[in-house]
Structure 1
Amino acid sequence: MARITLPLLALLGGVAVAPGVARADAIDGHWCSDGGLRLTIQGPNLLSPGGARMSGDYDRHGFSYTAPAGEPGAGGRVDLRLMGDNAVRVQAANGPIEPVWRRCGPPVS
């Protein structure tokens, strides 16, 4: 029977707790719709699909804001709710917004 040495055991334990292995469980980050819209959430701050910077009602798994004029859902409340690590369900009081957005990378300028 093979013997596991102490250095090998330490290496295996280090891999199990390595940074990056942990799963995201917060709504913070960059989100993209299938239609090409983007938004970014950082705590109570939001960069809207039209580029407006605003604050909203934040909790770890959700975010709500009033959509600015000229944007999807304009004038109404938009509610986002985290659905796992990489998807957000979006509900808007005014106007159609794609119901599921996916986590994506930061915008490139």
Structure 2
Amino acid sequence: MRPFRPLVFTLITSLALLLARPAAADSIDGHWCTERGMRLSISGPSIVTPGGARMQGEYGRHDFAYDAPPGEPGGGGRVVMRLRGEDLMQVQAAGLDPLWRRCGPATS
């Protein structure tokens, strides 16, 4: 029975590697963009808003909310965001696109 041990080990290891998935970006943290060129970034409870304001909000792993500063899109109102997939976020606020996609950090 000993000769089968390496074979069993190899089969189990191979199966584990085949079933393993890369870690999914299952948190709302990151850089987000719209088709119209709006951008925002979330890192824990910190956000850089589409208007460039750095502020704190209410962070959940799959959602984020903040009160938009006056003069910005959604200004003076509550902005609520929910992760809808690895690369898709739904935004509820006046003046903001409803769907945002992950993007790279802003370059200047």
TM-score by length of 1: 0.80
Aligned partner of 2:107 in structure 1 is 108
Aligned partner of 1:31 in structure 2 is 32
SS in 1 for 2:85: coil
SS in 2 for 1:88: strand
String of CA shifts for 1:58-108, please: whole Å, max 9, x gaps. Answer: 00000000111211110000000000100100001xx32110000000111
Q: Which runs of 5+ in 2 are unaligned?
A: 1-6
Q: Which runs of 5+ in 1 are unaligned?
A: none
Aligned partner of 1:55 in structure 2 is 56
Listed as ranges, the matches of 1:41-80 within 5 Å are 41-80=42-81
Paired with 1:68 and 1:15, the residues of 2 have a C-alpha distance of 48
For 1:58, the aligned partner's letter is Y
Aligned partner of 2:3 in structure 1 is none
Paired with 1:50 and 1:97, the residues of 2 have a C-alpha distance of 11
- Identity within the alignment, %: 52
Across the aligned residues of Structure 1 and Structure 2, the Cα RMSD in angstroms comes to: 2.1
TM-score by length of 2: 0.81
For 2:71, the aligned partner's letter is G
